[in-house]
Amino acid sequence: MTLGAYEQVVVAALRAEADLDGADVVRWAVRCWAAASLAQVCPLTSAVLAGRDRWEHEVDLQLEQGNRPAALHEWGRDFAVRMTDDADPLVAAAAGLEAAALSRGAAPGG
């Protein structure tokens, strides 16, 4: 079995909440990685959300989106774009700034 195939089996088992040895540890590790990675790419949005005790919940929602792009900056841009529609104007403003910055970096010649 290739590493890619094994990863797909593990992801499917975790999503199905199958009885998989160490599944809780894997979920915890993925959540920690996601929180650290998104905070690195979207520091303003993550700080505002953390200050409002919403950070962990929003990380969980981002993970639930599935089909994460391979590039971390693309995933961060997806997160920031999603948060631009937030009801909290400060969250939306921070996310809008970061979404624009991440979109400029992804543009040719950006």
Sketch the domain layout of the chain as residue ranges: 3-106
Whether the model clears a pTM of 0.85, i.e. scores above it, the answer is no
15 phi and psi angles, rounded to 5 deg: -65, -35
Amino acid at residue number 34: A
| Structure confidence at residue 63 (pLDDT) | 87
Q: Is 13 helix (H, G, I), strand (E, B) or coil?
A: helix
Burial (0-12, 13-18, 19+ Cβ within 10 Å), 21: exposed
What does the pLDDT profile of the chain (110 residues) look like in tens digits?
A: 776 676 666 667 666 766 666 767 777 888 888 999 999 999 999 999 999 999 999 999 998 887 778 788 999 999 999 999 999 999 999 999 999 999 975 554 44
Local structure of residue 21 (DSSP, 8 states): T
For residue 103, count CB atoms less than 10 angstroms from its CB and return exposed for 0-12, middle for 13-18, buried for 19 or more. middle
Cβ-Cβ contacts under 8 Å for 70 (sequence gap 6 or more): none
